Chain A
Amino acid sequence: MVGLKDTDKRFRHLEAKVGVMVFVALAGIAAVLVMIGMERDLFTKKFAVHFTAESGAGIVEGMPVKLSGFKVGRVTDLELTGDAKVLVTSKINKKYQRYLKAGSKARLVKEGLIGDAFVEITVEGAEGELIGDGGELPFERAAGIEELIDEAKPVLKEIKEVIKFANSSEGDIKTTLKNIKELTGELRATTRTFSTTLTEARGVLRKSGDFMDDVSQKTTPLIEGSAKAIDDFNRLAKRAGPLMDRMDVITLRAEQASVRLPRTVERFERVLGDAAVVSTMFAEEAPRLRELLVDTAYAMKDVRAIARGVRGSWPVRLTMPPVKEPALVPPDGYFYGERAGGGGG
């Protein structure tokens, strides 16, 4: 084909480029293979260990073999033996061989109850020679959930019977629970009643306390006042002594007076009678009395005239003080009592 020339720079060292690409690809593949191999422990030295299991159930090729939870190998082969048991072959990493001594055991366990199964090698109590390539380990199968279920079945059955017994209304438990329920109910009611009573009691106590305080406040001055009143009374009683004596005397005199009273009344009546007589006599004598009074007035007039004469005569006139000029009450320049403007005393 004439078109693309070999002189195109894209084609320069083409074989080399292809070669490099192939090499890189092959290297990559090799690396992948090596990594897989390493993953699969293909490049590590191993030794074979065997154990015999009653059943191969749960054991598969490639199952990890762990020691103290650390992966040390892998199950590589399973085959039936002549007595229908299963011979399991595991390849263990050579570097862990020093841990496997006579007395080590292998067992099939699961991670958790339903996790992945693996073969675990236990070395507790193992001592003595190292187990070499092709060595035999005793095998035991650890209890999985199936075994647990098997073991639990009778227990569950018993539980069912117990529940049935417990659920029976005629049974002791139900009856006891019923009684307990009733008792609890009554207890609750009692507790409520008790709480109410307690609250009321607290209120009563508080009121009593307040009442006592109030009483105390009121009685203290009363008591003090009473003490003072008692003192005053004692003093009065002392003073009353002589008064009481006098009262006795007064009472005695009053009694005596009351005895004399009828006689006194009698005398008074007689006096009234006499007064009536006197007033009658007076009325009869009135004209004569009038004349007497007029005469007396004239006589007094004459006496006054004589007195004036004597007063005006010498030397009496000289000794008597002169009659003053009409005297005036002084014109007081002050107001007494409340004044219109609010002042004053």
Chain B
Amino acid sequence: MRVRAAGGEHVGPVVDLRGSDVRPQELAAAVRDPDDDRVRCPPPEATAVHRRVGCIRPDMTLDRQGALAAVARSHGTTAAVDDELAAVEADLEALDAGSTDLAAARERVATAGAERDRLRERVATLRGEIRARREAGLDATDAADDLSDAARRLSEATTERQAAIQALDRARANARNAYDDRERRLRLEDRAANLRRTARTELADAVRQDVSDALPTVSDRPLAETSDPLVALAAARIAKLHAPVVVAVDLFGPEATAGYVRAPTVRL
């Protein structure tokens, strides 16, 4: 392992950067990024379990089920539902649900309806005006022109409203198919989530005892009462880890930490 940090270059399976201002998560990110030159280590690159327990900080939180399951998977352990889960995920990949967003079509109907109503009122008003003028013996030519103009526009608006309504009806019928697909997708996603939960439980159960057995070196409490960083440390020991582990908790010195974790270690 070769670590370029804190103004120097450090080589070896154990690197001591205690007292430097290197941030643990930044270093862990460098470990996980094969293109980041600050940490060079032999392949294989960091795995899923490294993402969970490869950076041990005093303020970290640990999803215990997830971490234990990742520890199990790092040893190649599989869950009974893995095949079913893969099939469901493949079905999900293949699903391509169309859009159901009809806001524009709905707005067109609302606008067209409002315009038609407005013109209806205008026509009625103008009719009333014409009648009143004629009854009063006044010239109604201008009003009559306005009426004919408004009537023409009302006719156009009525047509537009009809067209808008029909377009919305068609769009709604199409959307029903898209909703069917989305419903199918939702059902598959729920099934995938349940299968993942089942897998996680099975895998976590498979390694819980081993992690528990590794705990006394770092904690004098049982697993359930031990803090997240210490559980992560024990999990790191049991995991099959290739990439260097960043340890920023102050339990042992660098050599002892590396010895416990059984992986290249950077102590911060």
A binds B: no
